Structure 1
Amino acid sequence: MVELETTVATEFPQFPKLPAELRLLIWRFALPHRVFEIRRETVSIKQDGEADVTKELDHDAWRIRNSDLVAVLLAQPALRSVCREARKYASQTGSWKCVGSRPRGNGGVIRLKTWFDPSTDTLCFDDSAFQNVPARPTERNGLSIEHPNNPAVTRFYFASSPASPICISLAALAGAPGKFFVEQWKRKRGFWSGVPQYQFYHDSILMHLGRSPKVYEIFGRGTDMCHTLLVDARDHGKLRQLRKLYVDESDPVFYQRRVADWLEDITNPDEGYVQQSFKDLKDIWLKGQEDVPSSALVLSPDRASIQMRSLIDPGAVLHTIQKFDHAHDWCKETVKTMPDMQLVVHFRLCITNHDKDCDQKTKSLEN
């Protein structure tokens, strides 16, 4: 019996001879799908006493802070370094976005930039980015511009034509920001205008991992690496894969068993996590309405009489989010006006390479 050796091709010299439409299709699938997060650390204006180093810039003063939780600037995709055709294709929709600045020693300004492609990348907002959203925004040409760091302005700055998918944390919709999003949705412009896909997440997990092949397989490598991952809450296979990665690869100092157990719980086939998350989203949407009735006339359970019953329960679900009677007609009709949002689970890879930390701790113990 003759054994054949398996070989993997590392070159394809016939690629330039392929039809142009086929080459462009290959470039399209080669573009990375990444997430850029807008957080308070990246959108805060200069603090009191700081020098104004952004007066020459045409954007708001954004800062990048040295923390595991800050957004990570995205590098240009590796595709832009392949050839002229690939570079041109990647530049058709992607571009550099100036997201901040810092002073330089000679009095100049160093601009901080991230690559963002609205055709493939997702713009993600967490709850810290919405603390300054005004309760009554001033509108101009469909944009709410009362505050310089308003999410509507941020969204349009990043995701102008074509618009990118948007992901928002459930906590970001609480309180005044919830009313802001409801108002913007009713106008069908501003923040929500042209968005091809809406996502929200209830929970976020910070993963303290090294840079092993298993990590690269999920989060990408090199310039195409993404530190933020949004996983469909119904994709149980992917969630189990991330749970195993968390257990096998986590820094022992940061490993928490309860997180691993929680990841196991949300993959339960009964989808209790999904149902509860959407119920909380509906409660937020109902609370964000302009005129929320405190009570209403409803039929008794035996349908024999009419009773006055409160629509709002006193218990809080998330921050200031109140429970509503979803069986009531007003709630049912109002919920129908919600955008169709996809529930995802938010994973953030720590910017620190914990392989190095573990190596240093091991060496210090050996000495």
Structure 2
Amino acid sequence: MAELEKTAAVDVATTFPRFSSLPAELRLIIWRFALPRRVFEIRRETVCLKQDGEVDVTEDVDHDSWRIRSSDLVAVQLAPPALLNVCREARKFALRSGSWRCVGSHPRGVNRVIRMATWFDPRTDILCFDDSASQLLTRRVTERNGLVTEYTNNPAITRMYFAGSPASPVCVSLAALAGSSGKFLVEQWQRKRGFWSGVPRYLFYHDSILMHLGRSPKVEEFFGKGVDRCHTLLVDAQDYAKLRRLRDLYVEESDSSFFQRRVADWLEDIINLDEGYSEQSYLDLRNLWLKAQDDVSSSAPILSTDQASAQMRSLIEPGAVLHTIQQFNHDDPWCRNVIKAMPDMQLVVHFRLCITNHDESLED
């Protein structure tokens, strides 16, 4: 009897045959919550690992099509959500703002160029990039839809392809503000119709963690599954409960050959309020924003002329030096005015799921 009751409870929890009888307003709300919340990362090097009719060279990964690769960190272009294949009403809802977006092209053979595209929905997806998306290749200045660009491979160029629909949230790494791309982003912020125009929410991250995990239910709880999987996860730095769960996930399920104790301890430090992680991250953000200005008045607001008093953590290994961050006197009138005009940016922690499925079954 108890077993029958348990089975019935499962049926009630997982099926709802009278869904079509719900009012249209309720059905639309359900479809909205069913859309995946994903992050599209813009990275510099774009490669295709598989073409129709070619030998499959991705036997150890659980997805195919296009990938964007830089070093050993790989971000995946987003596939159409599973909601498109549920029914006509769900498909119509998903197509209201989500669609294929061109993000560039890639040479393939002689006199052949392959158009690259990603699915993107500005209502639910976030556009994210770091310093790897910018190269110092000077070209003539171009302008399109109010966006002035000096570098052909600047991440803002990809933003052009998204300009035909409502702007999405944008997340930028501190590393992207440390060099020439930082000056570009600051300059665009000062324009009425620059890169930041219409962006509903601004985010930034100081640190990134690469997760070498399998595809267990616990992993899918965070990153999703199938076409709705998001290989990049941005977690509010104040969401200590979720950060702790991700820390436990890293400790319990990370591939032993890739597991690093210091990364787990590093995550514990982020959660520890006494470490002042958020305070230091915002301090670094303000200093990098100040450094990216073209009109630094004098050396008076600069505290560390040798640029060696602070360090920025690596995107791969915590504690490694990526950039030195010049310190400014934030009480200086010029600094106060610049900081006051900065965008209000939310601090997040960046997690990237390795495209390789590290389930033990694949190793057997």
Q: Same fold (TM over 0.5)?
A: yes
1:219-230 equivalent positions in 2, closer than 5 A: 219-230=223-234
Rounded Cα–Cα distance in structure 1 between residues aligned with 2:179 and 2:70: 29
2:349 is the counterpart of 1:350: no
For residue 165 of structure 1, report the CA deviation from its aligned partner.
0.5
Other structure's SS at 2:76 match: coil
Rounded Cα–Cα distance in structure 1 between residues aligned with 2:230 and 2:31: 19
Question: In the alignment, which of 335, 339, 348 is matched to residue 331 of structure 1?
Answer: 335
Task: Judge conservation of contact 2:134–2:181 (CA < 8 Å) in 1.
Answer: yes
Question: Cα distance 1:119–1:2, how it changes in 2: closer, same or farther (>3 A)?
Answer: closer
Residue equivalent to 1:71:
75
Task: Judge conservation of contact 2:172–2:203 (CA < 8 Å) in 1.
Answer: yes
Residue equivalent to 2:181:
177
**In terms of mean alpha carbon deviation, does 133-142 or 327-336 score higher?**
133-142
**In terms of mean alpha carbon deviation, does 138-147 or 156-165 score higher?**
138-147
Question: In the alignment, which of 209, 215, 221 is matched to residue 217 of structure 1?
Answer: 221
Task: Judge conservation of contact 2:212–2:356 (CA < 8 Å) in 1.
Answer: yes
Residue equivalent to 1:5:
5
Rounded Cα–Cα distance in structure 2 between residues aligned with 1:242 and 1:208: 12
Residue equivalent to 2:206:
202
Structure 1: give runs of 5+ residues left out of the alignment: 45-61, 297-308
Task: Judge conservation of contact 1:41–1:65 (CA < 8 Å) in 2.
Answer: yes
What is the one-letter code of the residue matched to 2:298? S
Task: Judge conservation of contact 1:282–1:335 (CA < 8 Å) in 2.
Answer: yes
Residue equivalent to 1:273:
277
Question: Cα distance 1:3–1:261, how it changes in 2: closer, same or farther (>3 A)?
Answer: same
Work out the number of aligned pairs and report it: 331
Question: In the alignment, which of 286, 291, 295 is matched to residue 287 of structure 1?
Answer: 291
For residue 97 of structure 1, report the CA deviation from its aligned partner.
2.1
Q: Deviations over 1:178-225 (max 9, x none)?
A: 211111111132210100011111111111011111101111011111
Percent identity of paired positions between Structure 1 and Structure 2: 70
Task: Judge conservation of contact 1:169–1:202 (CA < 8 Å) in 2.
Answer: yes
Task: Judge conservation of contact 1:63–1:99 (CA < 8 Å) in 2.
Answer: no
Task: Judge conservation of contact 1:98–1:113 (CA < 8 Å) in 2.
Answer: yes
Rounded Cα–Cα distance in structure 2 between residues aligned with 1:155 and 1:270: 38
Rounded Cα–Cα distance in structure 1 between residues aligned with 2:36 and 2:71: 25
Other structure's SS at 1:191 match: coil
What is the one-letter code of the residue matched to 1:5? E
Residue equivalent to 2:28:
24
Q: Deviations over 1:45-83 (max 9, x none)?
A: xxxxxxxxxxxxxxxxx9845974222021111111110
What is the one-letter code of the residue matched to 1:129? A
Task: Judge conservation of contact 2:131–2:181 (CA < 8 Å) in 1.
Answer: no
Question: In the alignment, which of 71, 87, 94 is matched to residue 90 of structure 1?
Answer: 94
Question: In the alignment, which of 229, 235, 258 is matched to residue 262 of structure 2?
Answer: 258
Other structure's SS at 1:5 match: helix
Task: Judge conservation of contact 1:134–1:176 (CA < 8 Å) in 2.
Answer: no
What is the one-letter code of the residue matched to 1:39? R
Rounded Cα–Cα distance in structure 2 between residues aligned with 1:198 and 1:335: 15
Q: Deviations over 1:261-296 (max 9, x none)?
A: 000001012361111110000001111122112344
Question: Cα distance 1:182–1:103, how it changes in 2: closer, same or farther (>3 A)?
Answer: closer
What is the one-letter code of the residue matched to 2:5? E
Other structure's SS at 2:73 match: coil
Q: Deviations over 1:96-136 (max 9, x none)?
A: 12345566789765544321111100011011002237599
**In terms of mean alpha carbon deviation, does 162-171 or 180-189 score higher?**
180-189
Rounded Cα–Cα distance in structure 1 between residues aligned with 2:214 and 2:78: 19
Question: In the alignment, which of 39, 49, 55 is matched to residue 35 of structure 1?
Answer: 39
Task: Judge conservation of contact 2:47–2:106 (CA < 8 Å) in 1.
Answer: no
**In terms of mean alpha carbon deviation, does 324-333 or 128-137 score higher?**
128-137
2:149 is the counterpart of 1:149: no
Residue equivalent to 1:50:
none
Question: Cα distance 1:354–1:158, how it changes in 2: closer, same or farther (>3 A)?
Answer: same
Rounded Cα–Cα distance in structure 1 between residues aligned with 2:303 and 2:35: 48
Other structure's SS at 1:243 match: helix
Rounded Cα–Cα distance in structure 2 between residues aligned with 1:84 and 1:323: 56
Task: Give the TM-score normalised by the residue count of structure 2.
Answer: 0.82
For residue 15 of structure 1, report the CA deviation from its aligned partner.
1.7
Question: Cα distance 1:320–1:118, how it changes in 2: closer, same or farther (>3 A)?
Answer: same
Question: Cα distance 1:140–1:86, how it changes in 2: closer, same or farther (>3 A)?
Answer: closer
What is the one-letter code of the residue matched to 1:289? Q
For residue 32 of structure 1, report the CA deviation from its aligned partner.
0.6
Task: Judge conservation of contact 2:186–2:293 (CA < 8 Å) in 1.
Answer: yes
What is the one-letter code of the residue matched to 1:30? A
For residue 239 of structure 1, report the CA deviation from its aligned partner.
0.7
Rounded Cα–Cα distance in structure 1 between residues aligned with 2:92 and 2:154: 32
Residue equivalent to 1:117:
121
Question: Cα distance 1:287–1:102, how it changes in 2: closer, same or farther (>3 A)?
Answer: closer
Rounded Cα–Cα distance in structure 2 between residues aligned with 1:28 and 1:228: 21
What is the one-letter code of the residue matched to 1:27? W
Structure exhibiting the larger radius of gyration computed from Cα positions: 1
Structure 2: give runs of 5+ residues left out of the alignment: 49-65, 313-322
Q: CA RMSD in A?
A: 2.9
